[in-house]
Structure 1
Amino acid sequence: MENFVLGELARQLTWARASVRLFHCRDRDQYEVDAVLEDNAGRVVGIEVKAAETVRSDDFRGLRLLQRRLGDRFRAGFVLYCGEEQLGFGDGLACLPISALWTSRLDGAVLS
């Protein structure tokens, strides 16, 4: 699932209005964010991919660390998952269905 989502993000970035670079992040303590999208102004959106129908607070572990480290540069963090609900998990953090890859919900945060 992760490879599929990363491939789709990379494809969509080729025609995005903004110049956005795609990275992966893992630190020495094994905190990980599957996709880190950064624009030319240094603004960052983090995306974690889960092949599950439910999301737990712990699924945001890497995104929360990225948010703390980047401060104001961190715009939003999303967990994309196999469920259907869009739910908030605190300031700037939310889970979205993987189908958000093809809707304006993710486009407004990442690709504009």
Structure 2
Amino acid sequence: MVETFVVNELIKQAGWAKSSIEEADFRGLRLLRDRLGSTFVGGVLLDLGQQSFRHDDRLFVMPADRLWTPLPTSW
């Protein structure tokens, strides 16, 4: 169900989808984190890249295909 939703959203937004992340892309997640304080566990920004990484305190970047692609067994 989630996979179908993500694929449909990516198709709808393909015209403006980016493969690179900019600081402004975190504006909403950062606002949410700052307002919720310690209640905020973490936020994930999905992108079209290949790497997952920590961007800032409790803010992460993850490739959208990680939602349906299993991690390699050597990980």
Please, what TM-score do these two structures have when normalized by structure 1? 0.47
Moved >4 Å (runs of 4+) = none
* Correspondence for 1:84: 50
1:54 and 2:20 equivalent? yes
Distance 1:90 1:104, change over 3 A: farther
Residue-by-residue CA offset, 1:21-71 (whole Å, 9 max, x unaligned): xxxxxxxxxxxxxxxxxxxxxxxxxxxxx8211111111000000001111
User: Relative CO higher for 1 or 2, CA cutoff 8 Å, sep ≥ 6?
Assistant: 2
Q: Give RMSD over aligned pairs.
A: 2.8
Alignment gaps of 5+ in structure 1: 9-49, 106-112
More strand by share: 1
Counterpart check, 1:71 vs 2:37: yes
Equivalence for 1:20: none
The answer on 1:4 being equivalent to 2:23 is no
Whose helix proportion is higher, 1 or 2? 2
Q: Which amino acid aligns with 2:52?
A: Q
**Total equivalences in the alignment:** 62
Structure 1 residue 104: Cα displacement: 6.6
After superposing the two structures, state which structure 1 stretch, 60-69 or 84-93, moved more.
84-93
Q: Which structure 2 segments of 5+ residues have no match?
A: 10-15
Over the matched positions of the two proteins, sequence identity in percent amounts to 40
Give TM-score scaled by structure 2 length.
0.67
Q: Which letter does structure 1 place at the counterpart of 2:21?
A: V
